[in-house]
Amino acid sequence: AQKYSELVYDGLWHSPLRQALDGFVNQTQRFVSGEVKLKLYKGNCTVVGRKSPYSLYEKKLATYSEEDTFDQKTSQGFIHIWSLPLRTISKTQRREEAFLIYEWDKSD
């Protein structure tokens, strides 16, 4: 929203970037429709309900019962793969810290 408003304010309505942003919004929002129920109270706005024919929410995926759709055994592999970049960064930083300590000890 910030970039879009800057383009409009700067008179760049016909720019390729504004057209590309329009294309992005149009593509990503094709299935955004439905109803939202809001509670307005003392300056606050809270979502208290929502429904859409394109909702991605599936109760069987969100619950952890015996009848759920999600196979709990798969979570271990997911966590392992998801954490690979952070574990790699951690190893690299520990190597760098060990090197710096070694270099500092040599200076005595």
Asked if 53 and 34 touch (Cβ cutoff 8 Å), the reply is: yes
Three-state SS at 30: coil
pLDDT higher than threshold 80 for residue 108: no
Instruction: Note the pTM of the prediction, 2 decimals.
Output: 0.46
Domain boundaries, the chain: 71-108
More confident residue, 72 or 35: 35
| Sign of the four-CA dihedral 70, 72, 76, 79 | positive
Q: How crowded is the C-beta side of 29, counted as CA atoms within 13 Å?
A: 7
More confident residue, 69 or 52: 52
pLDDT higher than threshold 80 for residue 84: yes
Residue type, 41: Y
Residue type, 84: L
pLDDT digits (tens, 9 = 90+) for 4-42: 999 999 999 999 999 999 999 999 999 999 999 999 999
Instruction: Categorize the per-residue pLDDT at 59 as very low, low, confident or very high, splitting at 50, 70 and 90.
Output: confident
Instruction: Please report, for residues 13, 27, 30, 51, the alpha-carbon distance to residue 17 in angstroms, rounded to integers and kept in the order given.
Output: 9, 15, 20, 33
